Amino acid sequence: MVEHLTDYRLVSEVEPELAGLLIKGLRAAGEGELADQVSQLRYHGRCECDSDSCRSFYTAPRTDGAYGPGHRNITLDVGDTHMVVVDVVEADIVFAEFI
Ligand SMILES: [Zn+2]
């Protein structure tokens, strides 16, 4: 079955707690525009690593290889529950790491 973009559920439905942490962390980091994006992000599947504690997930279609020159990482301080890093390409959040 082919998945269409609209078939992906909102991150705020799949992982409401983590979406809340993203918004809080991005705002605290001065990334208000990215924080505003979180409510519209769609869940593109979880990280495929084997770690039990990893709750990382994709927020854009997966790409093979590197993200390219427009890519940056933002480490967020959300307290002691998770280590959170968001991957941003140009102006879009593409992956959220919850380690
Ligand atoms: Zn993982």
Cα-Cα end-to-end distance for the chain: 31
> For the chain, how many structural domains are there in total?
1
Low-confidence spans in the chain with pLDDT less than 70: 1-6
pLDDT of residue 26: 97
Residue 26 Cα to ligand 1 middle (Å): 21
Residue 84 Cα to ligand 1 middle (Å): 12
CA 41 to chain centre: 8
Nearest by Cα to 58 from 6, 1, 15:
15
pLDDT of residue 91: 93
Return residues with CB closer than 5 A to ligand 1 (ion): 47, 49, 54, 56
pLDDT more than 70, % of the chain: 94
As a whole number, the mean pLDDT across the chain is 90
Helix (H, G, I), strand (E, B) or coil at 88: strand
Range of the domain at 88: 5-98
pLDDT of residue 28: 94
| Burial (Cβ within 10 Å: 0-12, 13-18, ≥19) of residue 38 | buried
Size (the chain), residues = 99
